[in-house]
Amino acid sequence: MAGDNVTHVTDSDFDQEVIKSDLPTLVDFWAPWCGPCKAIGPVIDELADTYSGKIKITKMNVDENPETPGKFGIRAIPTLIFFKNGEVADQVTGAVGKTQLVAMLDK
């Protein structure tokens, strides 16, 4: 099933799942009511399958987890933040194409 390799993270397990992750981690900050978020959903699922074992792909529902997006100054969704060694390595906002996301992850 698509999306099996996507981890859903919350405010309470964000540090454990993302900051302390051994793998570089992409976090998709989204909400159920956000059209562009739904549009890139399948791309995120695809990337999770493609990069399985190399890069951890996670999603965070900003409605249910207001603390973490606030910490990273997220004002618009979807916002994708790429973490490497617990630090922000890259960030994109908006429904970007797969090509742009692959370029960010391959850097």
pLDDT of the residue at 4: 82
Q: What angle do CA 53, 18, 52 make, to 5 degrees?
A: 15
Euclidean distance between CA atoms 45 and 12, whole angstroms: 23
Task: State the 10-residue block means of pLDDT for the chain, 107 residues long.
Answer: 82 98 97 96 94 96 97 96 97 93 91
93 forms bridges with which residues in the sheet? Answer: 79
State the pTM of this model: 0.94
> Phi, psi at residue 5, to the nearest 5°?
-90, 5
CATH number attached to the domain at 6-12+23-106: 3.40.30.10
- Sorted by where each begins, the domain ranges of the chain are 6-12+23-106
For the annotated catalytic residues, the residue numbers are 34, 37
Euclidean distance between CA atoms 66 and 22, whole angstroms: 25
